[in-house]
Amino acid sequence: MSTHYTATAKALHWLMAALIFGLLALGFYMHDLPLSPEKLQLYSWHKWAGVSAFLLVLFRLAWRAGHPPPALPASMPAMLRVAAHAGHIALYGLMLAIPLSGWLMSSAKGFQTVWFGVLPIPDLIGKDKATGDLLQQVHMLLNLILVLTLAGHIGAALKHHFIDRDDILTRMLPQRHPEN
């Protein structure tokens, strides 16, 4: 078994990372803006990117199912291996739950998502202000949990690289000669 991720897995990882950080930055920026045409355009872009991220994570999960990740180092304590797996499960769960909560929130608030301004995405629930407000809080809370989870993920990768000096970080970095 390879000690590195496939080139496709690496590309999906870094594309998702860029998309997630962009979505977080845009989401936090636009949240408190006064209502304006600019804010509405930013919300549209955020929703388009959120739908794209949701589809990309589905593809990423399908890829991962057919291409298992490399095993964690045998020298890694069992509890840290459990924590690493739990962290990855949390990240994938959040990458699914956050766009779904945004979609539900938009549906409940009566703002249909039209992907890239072309493809209308059906509303999942009927318009209901109280439900929309609740889902807005859920969406925000999930994003705050994502920020904390990402901090842990990045911190763990840096710890492995600079303190443990193992290959946990480097096996996800682009290679000069990708394996596939």
In a domain, 180, yes or no: no
Determine the structural domain holding residue 114 and report its residue range.
7-172
Residue 71 within any structural domain of the chain:
yes
Q: What is the pLDDT of residues 56-97, one digit of tens each?
A: 999 999 999 999 999 998 889 999 999 999 999 999 999 999
Classify residue 97: in a domain, yes or no: yes
Higher pLDDT pick, 75 / 150: 150
Whether residue 114 lies inside any domain: the answer is yes
Q: Is residue 85 part of a domain?
A: yes
What predicted TM-score, i.e. pTM, was given to this entire model? 0.93
Residue 177 lies in a domain: no
User: What is the per-residue pLDDT across 37-50, written as a single tens digit (0 to 9) for each?
Assistant: 999 999 999 999 99
Q: What is the CATH number of the domain that holds 143?
A: 1.20.950
What is the mean predicted confidence (pLDDT) over 9-16?
A: 97
CA distance 121 to 25: 24
Contact 145, 94 (CB under 8 A): yes
Rounded to the nearest integer, the mean pLDDT of the chain is 94
160 lies in some domain: yes
Query: What are the backbone angles phi and psi of residue 84, rounded to the nearest 5°?
Result: -65, -45
- At residue 5, does pLDDT exceed 70? yes
Token pair 């739990």 in the structure block, residue: 86
Mean pLDDT to the nearest integer, 169-176: 86
Q: Taking Cα atoms as reference points, which of 106, 113, 111 lies closest to residue 52?
A: 113
**Domain count along the chain:** 1
Question: Which bin fits 163, alpha (ψ -120 to 50), beta or left (φ > 0)?
Answer: alpha
User: Would you say residue 2 lies in a domain?
Assistant: no
Indicate whether 177 pLDDT > 70.
Answer: no
